[in-house]
A and B are shown apart, each in its own frame.
Chain A
Amino acid sequence: MRLLNFLFPPHRHSAAIAKERLKIVLAHERAGRHAPDFLPKLQKELIEVVARYVEIREDMIRVNLGKSGETSLLEINIELDGAKPLSAVLRGGLAGAATAAPPAKSG
């Protein structure tokens, strides 16, 4: 039997492969579809706020809505490695904020 399988490998129908691929890709896309509309806006505003204190690029903040068991999780990742603090001079006038600014290498 093993020899037979070796000589004539069992043929997998392409329709079965299509179905499996579709199920996987759609499960992924459907999960993303139910993300609330405010996420992109939240991400933009977070960048604005953080940018008042440290120099930050758009790709340094990631906002994700996930699930852990029964709990919905809003996950916000801010990468600070390599971010430069803005000098107090540049922030001109925002005296109070100067002390609140975190050091660049916090993580």
Chain B
Amino acid sequence: MAKVVVITSGKGGVGKTTTAAAFAAGLALRGHKTVVIDFDVGLRNLDLIMGCERRVVFDFINVINGDAILNQALIKDKRNDNLYIFPTSQTRDKDALKREGVDRVLEELKQQFDYIICDSPAGIEHGAITALYFADSAIIVTNPEVSSVRDSDRIIGILASRSRRAERNEPPVELNLLLTRYDPVRVSKGEMLTVEDVKEILSIPLLGVIPESESVLRASNTGTPVAFDPESSAGRAYLDAVARFLGETREMRFVKPERRNFLRVLFGRA
């Protein structure tokens, strides 16, 4: 049975699209047929992060409106056969994402894919609500910072009351916390909320901690999901999170300050 996973946060700029791309790539690497959908109508960016911006012909809205069929709009990733990208439209019509249309497209995707990753826009407006409405599972992307934690709490409340599962009195959307841009050095100095602090405040299960890493910008510069970079600490942390999502037990890495390795300092790899 296909699973719909929403990547959401409330607050913008915390790493939703990076996470959606990395998570989809990680699931594909594990052999699951995965599609990642951009729900941020008007502010399309997943295509850039996935490195397929020049291959976009038809989009989500075209398919909803019946101007194109699904397989015309899906973009097959060139690095992994299990991975597909479903770009959104740059239209300024915010209400173009009609709920019935989205439902129909998701049902069609469920026939072809194991995982459907929905990259939510920021905020709690129409696009964000539509992205989380059909979810079976949600990954709440949070930075260890007050405004991000507060907005995550708000989104958790919305998932519990306004998702389709909540409306139909079905088992609730599965919630998972992903703490991103974590800086163990600043945490050790008492300058940043700890993993335990955020876990305690939001009280949902922790899926992973992604360390602040230069490799994330490097990945977005080149249009590569960071999970495809085996050198990167963030990439490895995402693969760990994917493994936990699939039910495996993995020790939390990158949560303590790393000892400065002489060779690493010399060659400057993050």
Q: Residues of A at under 8 Å CB distance from B?
A: 13-16, 18-19, 21-23, 25-26, 29-30, 33
**Cα–Cα distance between A21 and B153 once the two chains are bound (Å):** 14
Interface size classification for chain B: 10 to 19
Do residues B157 and A30 form an inter-chain contact, with CB atoms below 8 A?
Answer: yes
Say whether A15 contacts B187, CB under 8 Å. yes
A23 to B149, CA, bound (A): 10
| Interface contact A22-B154, CB-CB below 8 Å | no
Identify B153's interface contact among A15, A16, A18, A26, CB under 8 A. Answer: A26
B247 within 8 A of A: no
23 contacts between A and B (CB under 8 A): A13-B189, A13-B191, A14-B190, A14-B191, A15-B187, A15-B190, A15-B191, A15-B194, A16-B190, A18-B145, A18-B146, A18-B193, A21-B146, A22-B150, A26-B150, A26-B153, A26-B201, A29-B150, A29-B153, A29-B154, A30-B153, A30-B157, A33-B157
Q: Is B149 within 8 A of A15, CB to CB? A: no
Overall SS of chain B's interface: helix
Q: Could you count the A-B residue pairs with CB atoms below 8 Å apart for me: how many are there?
A: 37
| Minimum distance in angstroms from B148 CB to a CB of chain A | 10
Nearest chain B CB to A97's CB is how many angstroms away? 40
- Confirm or deny: B2 has a beta carbon within 8 angstroms of a beta carbon on chain A: no
Q: Is B107 an interface residue (CB 8 A)?
A: no
Residue of A nearest to B147 (CB): A22
Distance in angstroms between the alpha carbons of A30 and B146 in the assembled complex: 16
Closest 4 CB pairs of A and B: A13-B190, A19-B197, A33-B157, A15-B190
Nearest A residue (CB) for B153: A26
B56 CB within 8 Å of chain A: no
B243 at the interface (CB under 8 A from A): no
B146 contacts A22, CB within 8 Å? yes
Write out the residue numbers on chain A whose beta carbons fall within 8 Å of the beta carbon of B191. Answer: 13-15
CB distance from A34 to the nearest CB of B (A): 9
Q: Which of A15, A25, A30 contacts B197 (CB 8 A)?
A: A15
- Of B161, B187, B194, B201, which one neighbours A22 at CB under 8 angstroms? B201
Contacts of B201 in A (CB 8 A): 19, 22-23, 26
Cβ contact of A15, chosen from B150, B154, B157, B192, cutoff 8 A:
B192
Q: Which residues of B contact A18 (CB under 8 A)?
A: 145-146, 193, 197
CB distance from B163 to the nearest CB of A (A): 15
**In the complex, what distance in Å separates the CA atom of A13 from the CA atom of B76?**
48
The 8 A CB mask of B242-256 against A (1 = contact, 0 = none) is: 000000000000000
User: A14 contacts which chain B residues (CB < 8 A)?
Assistant: 190-191
Other-chain residue from B157, B161, B193 in contact with A19 (beta carbon distance below 8 A): B193
Query: In the complex, what's the smallest C-beta–C-beta distance from B10 to chain A, in angstroms?
Result: 12
Q: Considering the chains assembled together, what is the distance between the CA atoms of A37 and B149 in angstroms? A: 25
B169-190 to A contact mask, C-beta < 8 Å, 1/0: 0000000000000000001011
Complex CA distance for A33 and B158, rounded to whole angstroms: 9
Smallest Cβ-Cβ distance to B187: which chain A residue: A15
A19 to B193, CA, bound (A): 7
Distance of B14 from chain A, by nearest CB (Å) = 15
B204 shortest CB reach to chain A, Å: 13
Cβ-closest chain B residue relative to A16: B190
Q: Closest B-chain residue to A25, C-beta based?
A: B150
